[in-house]
Amino acid sequence: MIHTSNRGQAFHGVKLADEAPHGQEGVREHFRHSQDPQRQDPCEETQDHSDAIDCTLSSVASSLRGAKRNKIISALLMLLSLTLSGCMGVTRLPARVRTPQGLQKPLDISFLQTGQTTRAEVIEKLKLIDTGFQSDRFFLGRWNSSKWGGWVFGIGLGTSAGGAVRFWHDVNLLVEFDEKGAVKSYLTFPDQQLIEKLTAVAGGRGKPSAESGEIELQWMKGGYVGAPRTAKLVLSPNSMEFVETGGAGRLYHFKVPATQFVNIGTATGAGNVSDPVYTTQVLHFSSDLKQAGGPRGKKLYLRVTVPELVMLLSYLSQHTPPLGIPNSDSNGGQECR
């Protein structure tokens, strides 16, 4: 709701109408203090009496114009406070889970027991959140969870509007199996820890690091703004080729030497839109991509699946120094070792 200051008080340093100076001396005094302190009152510079009167009348007119402007500002603020009002809030909602198959009831992973639960049981009971990552040593799951929502309602200008929305956050599950195919450890964590946790998976999945391959993905041309466009990355031992496959206007197609890779990081805040399938990642390069025929800047904003991210991390590990991300504790499950 919009509030205005009380009558007779200054609003953000602007004097309201009833504070305008009165009389010739008041106008001249107001002029002195409202201008540069080193600047002399121009009405004092004239010696002719008639000229002094004209100068004073001009100052009065200027002051009245300022008073009129202040009246208009005050009236507009009062009008807004009378015509616009609204409220917003946050409320607890029934827990919901969002998977690639749609809305589901809350997931139960309490059946996971180290040394007892088998890989076959994990795949069967958690198939709704299975990312499709192929590995005998790891299982990767992903979903969105929501327990809270927000609402807003506004009234004004002869109409009213309102709405409510759920707050979603990403949850990832990493399960590691031992040599016998039983659960060795498991961990749930948010997207902020994706790079840290999946780097270990990419380096310890029992397969050689990816030196080549092709990744189908979504590309955010405008960074965090705009609809995603389809593209693919063609990975080779010495370079990465970017091919835009869909979208209006110019389609980018360029190749970057592998030596120009600097780092990869998960988008944060508004940049990482909650999604049960895709996660938004930012590729950093040492040179402006425009030099290679790409978009302007040293970053690519990509939306990839979890298996594709593991493949990309495996590839980048061959061409970039260790990320050096500090370990952080998770709120759920057990730490994978």
Closest CA to 276 of 123, 91, 132, 87: 132
pLDDT tens by residue, 14-29: 333 334 444 444 444 4
pLDDT tens by residue, 258-269: 989 898 998 876
pLDDT tens by residue, 82-113: 566 667 778 888 888 999 888 888 889 999 99
Structural tokens at position 131: 């990312």
* pTM for this prediction: 0.66
Strand ranges (E), the chain: 84-99, 102-104, 138-156, 159-177, 183-189, 213-219, 229-235, 239-244, 253-257, 261-266, 278-285, 299-305, 332-333
CATH of domain 191-330: 2.30.29.30
pLDDT at 329 over 50: no
